[in-house]
């Protein structure tokens, strides 16, 4: 397969690059020499048969349209909302992603964010480091055990979060596009009703046009001044301007966010709030999980070019 040209528009995990380089003819578009080659020799662009992207940058219509012989877009991540899947479908281009292997990692982080927010672990750390502990004990915090956890999106990650929360004796409820007949958890027919009936609202749903800003002011008001929001889904699920207002005005008790609307840009007012925990989109960011994701990308490409069924087809 060394003669098959594969393009990476952005750098990702070094292991993935190494594996692609050893199996295919890899072009790194962020390399100046590669960019010059593409600009001066249309035959190179015409040779590209596969593109490997991450779920943050994706592949828009413009990128897809540059490569007339593109056959497959392999996403190094589970989310494909940044990939123009409609254009891919129109052109007969296959799309794959890396579900399942990052489920546990994302669910672990969601629980970690809950604990960090309720027990104010980040603030406690700074309290000790700054020497303030010598002048008095830290203020009381809030327990996690026994709380009601509402989950928006009871898919792979949502179910994994629920399983972990049960170990803390939490009551679980959820909202999703449809009722899950096999689920023992209570279903709420709207996000507002879900927020009204939980202490902790966890966003773990995939992003679509319908779910953009699904966490709006009404939902935040329903969650209330003692409720907290945890987002391990996508940044665009949350109306960030409304979130800032709700936190500053005390209409929402707190928020822990791993994803943002315009990453890596984060609303400046959040930086000064102690009832907020912020992480840089690290839901799958462990060596073990990123390696497993890379292996799936490679396996999908090899399967496709050998004429075998794709391991994790999205389209």
Clarify whether residues 121 and 270 are in a common domain: yes
Q: Is the pLDDT score of 75 beyond 80?
A: yes
Clarify whether residues 128 and 88 are in a common domain: no
List C-alpha distances in Å: 173 to 148, 185, 194, 201, 253. 8, 5, 7, 10, 19
Q: Does 117 map to a domain?
A: yes
The sign of the dihedral angle between the CA atoms of 235, 266, 294, 57 is: positive
Clarify whether residues 68 and 214 are in a common domain: no
Clarify whether residues 93 and 123 are in a common domain: no
Q: Which two tokens stand for residue 191?
A: 């996000």
Q: What is the pLDDT of residue 136?
A: 97
Clarify whether residues 142 and 248 are in a common domain: yes
Left if phi > 0, otherwise alpha if psi is -120 to 50, otherwise beta: which for 37?
alpha
Q: Does 312 map to a domain?
A: no
Clarify whether residues 130 and 225 are in a common domain: yes
Share of the chain above pLDDT 70, in %: 100
Clarify whether residues 218 and 301 are in a common domain: no
Give me the mean pLDDT over the 61-88 stretch: 95
CATH code of residue 110: 3.40.50.720
Q: What is the pLDDT of residue 37?
A: 79
Q: What is the pLDDT of residue 63?
A: 93
Number of domains present in the structure of the chain:
2
Confidence of residue 203 (pLDDT cuts 50, 70, 90): very high
- pTM for the model stands at 0.92
* Domain extent at residue 229: 103-278
* Catalytic machinery residues: 234, 263, 281
Clarify whether residues 34 and 117 are in a common domain: no
Confidence of residue 254 (pLDDT cuts 50, 70, 90): very high
């Amino acid at each position: 397969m060394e003669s098959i040209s594969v393009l990476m528009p952005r750098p990702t995990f070094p292991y993935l690059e190494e594996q692609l380089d050893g199996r295919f003819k890899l072009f790194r578009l962020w390399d100046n020499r590669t960019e010059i080659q593409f600009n001066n020799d249309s035959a190179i662009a015409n040779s590209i048969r596969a593109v490997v992207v991450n779920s943050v940058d994706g592949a828009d219509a413009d990128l897809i349209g540059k490569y007339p012989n593109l056959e497959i877009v392999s996403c190094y991540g589970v989310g494909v909302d940044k990939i123009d899947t409609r254009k891919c479908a129109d052109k007969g281009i296959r799309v794959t992603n890396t579900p399942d292997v990052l489920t546990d990692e994302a669910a672990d982080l969601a629980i970690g964010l809950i604990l960090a927010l309720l027990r104010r672990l980040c603030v406690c750390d700074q309290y000790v480091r700054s020497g303030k502990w010598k002048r008095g004990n830290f203020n009381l915090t809030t327990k996690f055990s026994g709380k009601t956890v509402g989950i928006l999106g009871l898919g792979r990650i949502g179910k994994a979060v629920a399983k972990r929360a049960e170990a803390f004796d939490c009551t679980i409820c959820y909202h999703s596009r449809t009722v899950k007949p096999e689920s023992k958890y209570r279903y709420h027919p709207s996000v507002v009703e879900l927020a009204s009936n939980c202490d902790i609202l966890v966003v773990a749903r995939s992003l679509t046009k319908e779910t953009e800003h699904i966490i709006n002011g009404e939902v935040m008001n329903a969650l209330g001044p003692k409720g907290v929001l945890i987002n391990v889904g996508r940044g665009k699920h949350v109306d960030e301007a409304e979130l800032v207002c709700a936190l500053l005005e005390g209409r929402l008790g707190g928020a822990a966010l791993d994803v943002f609307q315009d990453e890596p840009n984060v609303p400046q007012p959040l930086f000064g709030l102690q009832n907020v925990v912020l992480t840089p989109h690290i839901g799958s960011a462990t060596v073990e999980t990123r390696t497993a994701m890379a292996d799936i990308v490679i396996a999908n490409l090899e399967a496709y070019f050998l004429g075998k069924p794709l391991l994790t087809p999205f389209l």
